[in-house]
Amino acid sequence: MEHKRHHASNFFAPFWIKAYLVVPLMFTFAALIVSHLPLFGLNGVAFAAGVTVSYAALELLHYSFHNTAPSTSVGLFFRKHHFAHHFESPASNFGFAGGILLDLAFGTFVYARGVVAVSPGYHMAWLHDGKTVKPEFAAHFRLKS
């Protein structure tokens, strides 16, 4: 449900909601590893911590794609790839950042050539005002009519 709302508008569930869902899962995962410590050792605990930190980092990266302007050509590429998923082809480009490798592996990668059309109702102040795309991004994005 959150993903559909996220596609329809610039909705991000508050971090506490995600923590409410993920923290118990991570504690359960960590408890299983710790209860089998002789089998997994401290590497298992480090793995559980790494998964948790990676999840938080991906959430922050995803948030930044929608709410901050790219400062490099790589950032622009990733935003175009991700926004093509949001606004043009929801059955492709699921991954962002390193997840593009998974899109390549599963055949869901579509290169976002040229201009990506974004919804004028999807508020992204760094990109558009609802009527026009900011000039510095007009070669890469346009508003859907």
- pLDDT, one tens digit per residue, over 83-115 is 998 888 888 888 877 788 999 999 999 888 889
Q: Map residue 120 onto helix, strand or coil.
A: coil
Angle between helices 37-67 and 15-35 (to 10 degrees): 160
Q: Report the pLDDT value the prediction gives residue 10, as an integer from 0 to 100.
A: 62
pTM of structure: 0.76
- What 8-state DSSP symbol labels residue 141? E
Closest CA relative to residue 99, chosen from 140, 48, 65, 137: 65
Lowest mean pLDDT among 11-15, 25-29, 93-97, 117-121: 11-15
- From residue 27, alpha-carbon distances to 13, 23, 34, 103 in Å are 21, 6, 10, 30
Asked if residue 2 has pLDDT above 70, the reply is: no
Instruction: Count the neighbouring beta carbons within 10 Å of the beta carbon of residue 125.
Output: 12
Q: Report the pLDDT value the prediction gives residue 139, as an integer from 0 to 100.
A: 96
Mean pLDDT over each residue of the chain, to the nearest integer:
84
- From residue 132, alpha-carbon distances to 34, 72, 106, 127 in Å are 54, 22, 35, 9
- From residue 55, alpha-carbon distances to 4, 64, 98, 111, 120 in Å are 20, 14, 13, 25, 29
| Cα–Cα distance, 129 to 126 (Å, whole number) | 8
Q: What confidence tier does 9 reach under pLDDT thresholds 50, 70, 90?
A: low
Segment (H or E) for 105: helix 100-106
Between vectors from CA 30 to CA 97 and to CA 56, what angle results, nearest 5°? 25
